[in-house]
Structures are given as structure tokens and as C-alpha cells.
Amino acid sequence: MQEFEELKNAILHCTKCELAKTRQHVIFGEGNMKAHVLIIGEAPGRDEDIQGRPFVGLSGQLLDKILAACGFSRNQQLFINNIVKCRPPGNRTPSPAEASVCMPWLLKQIDLIDPKILILLGATALKYMAGSDYKITRDHGKWINVQNRPAIPVYHPAALLRNPSLKRDAWEDCKRIIDKYCEIVDPEHYSPHYKPRRNTQL
Ligand code: URA
Ligand code: SF4
């Protein structure tokens, strides 16, 4: 608890990369610090920079809807954050240098929260957490190992807003997340839109 607050304080004062110069807020992340599911996005955008919270713009609204359909909410099963914690000007993709300078913060958060499942939201999170060999179009919905835990790449909600035909695949990937959550965290987990495949052999 105290360690988490100290980390938060250090992150909120970070000036380790150029993004510190143009940001309004550092976005530490949000959710339950004992969450079993950690969601990793790309970077704060304009709305996030203004409000100081992750995923509060259009992408965030869609993300909340998708998560609600899975039976997940911020502050309960989830902690939500990003590859970089400050907004890149004009919402450009974070540079490899910015991502690598910011990465120790995220790794420290993973250490302290100790989630059982990582959700890699979009190509940028996939690239920086798992490496450039992976491709979101090919590898979304597949379980991989990241930081010694199961991780699943899924489409970023911004991609779903640009290309709604991806939503069908995105929901299939969500079902895999729900199944995994039931398997390793809570066999009684309830999703309003999907009946999980429960392991009845226990
Ligand atoms: N997109 C992201 O990747 N992260 C946010 O926090 C908001 C939009
Ligand atoms: Fe620090 Fe990360 Fe913000 Fe750069 S993006 S200033 S490394 S918190």
C-alpha cells in the first residue's frame, strides 16, 4: 500500500522523457491496486491529458462498454494504464525511446499489482510488451507469455471505432479472456453476455 503510494508519487513527478514538457497531467493509471487483470493501452490522448485519467475519451467509452459486457469494471477486476504515461503531442504513437524510458514504471506497477492476466490493447502495447515479432492482426486473441504471466493481445478500441467490422473478432477475443478469468481467478465470474466454458472436472 505504502509502496504503491510512493510509486504513484514518483510517477506523478516524472520528467524522464521529452513528453514531460508538453503534458498537462501524468496519467498514473486507474483501478484496483489488487486487480487480477491489468490492461495496457498505448498512451494518453487529449481527453486523458486534460482529466488526468486513462481512457476517458471516445475509445475509453467503448472500452468501458466492452468491459461491462465481460462483467468487468474499473475498481473491481481491473487496473488500466498505458505504455507511456504522458500524452505524445498530437496523439502520435510514442517513440521507442519514450516507451523504453517509461517502461520501468509499468514494470514496477506490474510487480506491485501482480495481476494474473495482462490485456495488451492494440499494436503499440503488443510491440513494447512482447516484441516486434508479433502482429496484432495475426496474433490478437492468442495467449502469450509476458512478464511471466498469460497475456492476450486484442484490438485497441480506437481501431474498432475506425473499423467496426473488427468488432466481431474483438468479442471472440473477449470470450477467451472471460474463460481464462473463470479458469484462473474466479470460477463464479458472471458476464451478462457470455456463459463461460467452465471446467466441470474439478
Ligand atoms: N488510448 C490509449 O491507448 N490510452 C488511453 O488512455 C486513451 C486512449
Ligand atoms: Fe516520465 Fe513516462 Fe511521462 Fe516520460 S512519459 S515523462 S518517462 S512518466
What predicted TM-score, i.e. pTM, was given to this entire model?
0.97
pLDDT tens for the 202 residues of the chain, in order = 899 999 999 999 999 999 999 999 999 999 999 999 999 999 999 999 999 999 999 999 999 999 999 999 999 999 999 999 999 999 999 999 999 999 999 999 999 999 999 999 999 999 999 999 999 999 999 999 999 999 999 999 999 999 999 999 999 999 999 999 999 999 999 999 999 987 655 4
Q: Residue 59 C-alpha to ligand 1 middle, in angstroms?
A: 7
Tell me the C-alpha distance between 86 and 68, whole Å. Answer: 26
Name the residue of 7, 13, 26 whose CB sits within 8 Å of the most ligand 2 atoms, as the mutation to test its pocket. 26
Is the residue at 21 inside a domain? yes
Is residue 192, in this structure, part of any structural domain at all? no
Tell whether 151 is covered by a domain. Answer: yes
CA of 22 to the centre of ligand 1 (A): 17
Q: Residue 78 Cα, ligand 1 centroid: separation in angstroms?
A: 15
Residues 6 or more apart in contact with residue 114 via CB below 8 angstroms: none
Ligand nearest the Cα of residue 159 is 1
On whether residue 198 sits in a domain, the answer given is no
- Structurally, the chain folds into a number of domains equal to 1
Region class of 66: left (phi > 0), else alpha (psi between -120 and 50), else beta: alpha
Q: Is the CB of 127 under 6 A from ligand 2?
A: no
Does residue 195 form part of some domain?
A: no
Q: Is residue 196 included in any domain, yes or no?
A: no
Ligand in closest contact with the CA of 41: 1
Check which CATH number belongs to the domain holding 166 and give it. Answer: 3.40.470.10
CB count, 10 Å around CB of 87?
Answer: 25
101 CA: nearest ligand 2 atom: 7
